[in-house]
Amino acid sequence: MTERYTVRFNFNQKEIYQSEISKKISDIPTKEDNEFFYPNERLKEKLTEYYGEDDIIQKLYNWQDYHLHEFFVYSKEKDNSKCWNQSEYHREGYKAILNLAADQKNFEYNKYELNYEQEDFKMALENEVKLKDVLPARIKYIYDYGDFWHHYIKTEEIIDDYKSNKPTLLEDEGTAPPEDVGGVGGFSEFMQIISNPDDEDYEPMLEWAESQRFKEYDPEEIKSDLERYY
């Protein structure tokens, strides 16, 4: 049996890109290999495979994603044997059960240089295990093994019938550090300098910050970037 759809479009002759038509077509089920899929969902899956699930965090912080990164997934079991300077450490003492590396090079570095092969958690590549497949869970995202930024990700709620395939910014505060600022200590010094125009390093620091794409906190711009990118 062949399924057909009748859809009415409003064609705007003044524009080359027909956004309304594109959105409606993306919501029409398409058949491939005897399976139906929605084009917008398929596109999102392919973008996730290409860019990785860390890319939303990169957009939120306005980083450039040129450093190594990893995810840790934790169980409900406690493990108080880890110290704060160990990557698998969780601030509430939970036990790491899975480490996800960005690519094969990242995987090899974690396994041999960071000696993860001696640990009892599993290791995998990001394209082998998606974060959505382990949720709800306690997750930590580490970016830049030099500055060593740790992000704790908490699942507040899973909405099964959520219609949008775009990330939505609900709450936020604070200014994100620029790339290669030198970790927490370097960021503290950076903020002190750019907050004082009389500091002798003020102009050079502003010039460096601009080269790193640093921006002051602007929630509306973040929302716009997420909307435009996804």
Each residue's pLDDT tens digit, 19-32: 556 656 666 677 67
Q: What is the pLDDT of residue 51?
A: 43
Q: What is the pLDDT of residue 9?
A: 57
Candidates 223, 114, 103; CA nearest to 166 is 223
For 99, the 3-state DSSP assignment is strand
Q: What is the pLDDT of residue 46?
A: 53
The pLDDT tens digits of the residues spanning 94-131 come to 999 999 998 899 999 999 999 999 999 999 998 888 77
- pLDDT: which is higher, 194 or 48: 194
Q: What is the pLDDT of residue 25?
A: 64
CA 105 to mean position of chain CA atoms: 19
The pLDDT tens digits of the residues spanning 29-38 come to 776 767 776 6
70: β partners = 101, 142
Candidates 46, 71, 52, 213; CA nearest to 140 is 71
3-state secondary structure 26-93: HCCCEEECCEEECHHHHHHHHHHHHHCCCHHHHHHHCCCCCCCEEEEEEEEEECCCCCCCCCCCCCCC
Among the residue ranges 3-17, 76-90, 140-154, the one predicted with the least confidence is 3-17
Q: What is the pLDDT of residue 130?
A: 77
Contacts of 202 (CB under 8 A, 6+ apart): 193, 194, 196
CA 171 to mean position of chain CA atoms: 16
Q: What is the pLDDT of residue 52?
A: 47
Q: What is the pLDDT of residue 102?
A: 86
Whether the pLDDT of residue 16 is over 70: the answer is no
Tokens 């600022």, located at residue: 181
Give the global pTM. 0.72
Q: What is the pLDDT of residue 56?
A: 82
Mean pLDDT, the chain, whole residue set: 82
